[in-house]
Amino acid sequence: MSTATATSTVTAWPDGRRITIRDLQAATDRGERWSMLTSYDTLTAGIFEQAGVRALLVGDTSAEMVLGHSSTLPVTMDELIPMVQAVVRGTRTALVVADLPFGSYQAGPGPALASAVRHLKEGGAQAVKLEGGRRVLPQVETLAGAGIPVMGHLGLTPQSINVLGGLRRVQGRGDAGEELLADALALERAGAFAVVLETVPAELARRVRGALRIPTVGIGAGPDCDAQILVWQDMAGLTTGRLPRFVKRYADTRGGLLEAAGRYAADVAAGRYPDEAHSYA
């Protein structure tokens, strides 16, 4: 029995079709926490789905994790769409959420709709995500009105790095917490199906969760959100350097790859690979 089948008999998650935003809401309504990871390629997408991760985000963090940029700002729709296609091809049941990159939606509902439609038509995604609260409500209303599921993103919004003054600052302390709560309520009213809360105090996330019906998806938002998301390379130990406090490493993928590649290079240098067993007669 596959992992997905075993899980679905217990939790009522669908096995023979893709998870929808209604399934995510139903899980939240019955008090079941669920997880998301980022994914930018076919193979990791399939692994994460098999592991029971319900929704995958083709995030603009691909700018850093895949393309080597130092922020999320440079990635474009044209660069994201092939990654969305790859993640969709690699999955059968996971809900695929595609990020709207910086510059693709801020100008208003028209550009936002055009970008979101590309993610669904060309990429095959089932939903999109954008950053911001009340300032992007017209965009959220337009997308939701067009039948496009929209995930909001509040707190630390990396596309605003140039005004936030760094990506490690906890957002929403003091009066800013009331603003964030108002943004979250406005997103829900505008038709968002979920909202990411990034790098905010756990107490604020608890309040937001209590005030919303739609799922809250935490990343650095404490234990009380309905769902959690991490960048997969952080979760699996591929990234280096100092990581945010909220990241928990579940594997040493970097160490494993380094060791494998080192043994391969040494075997080639010593003439041990390829040997007879790996050659054609």
Residue ranges binding ligand KIV (CB under 6 A): 38, 57, 59-61, 99, 153, 196, 198, 219, 229, 231
d(CA 156, CA 12): 33
Tokens of 271: 């003439």
CB 132, CB 195: distance < 8 Å: no
Rounded distance, CA 112 to CA 96, Å? 18
Query: Residue 180: CB partners within 8 Å, gap ≥ 6?
Result: 133, 154, 155, 171, 172, 197, 200, 204, 208
Minimum separation from the CB atom of position 228 to ligand KIV (A): 10
What is the number of the residue whose Cβ is closest to ligand KIV? 59
Q: Annotated catalytic, 198? A: yes
Q: How far is the CB of 173 from ligand KIV (least distance, A)?
A: 20
Q: Least distance to ligand KIV from the beta carbon of 72, Å?
A: 6
Based on CB atoms, which residue is closest to ligand KIV, 60 or 188?
A: 60
Catalytic residue among 32, 179, 198, 276: 198
Q: What Rg value do the Cα atoms of the chain yield, rounded?
A: 20
- DSSP summary character for residue 222: -
Residue nearer to ligand KIV on the CB measure, 60 or 226: 60
Min dist. Cβ of residue 57 to ligand KIV (A): 6
Residue whose CB is less far from ligand KIV, 4 or 104: 104
Q: Give the nearer residue to ligand KIV in terms of CB position, either 28 or 61.
A: 61
Cα 95 from chain centre: 11
Which residues are identified as catalytic?
A: 198
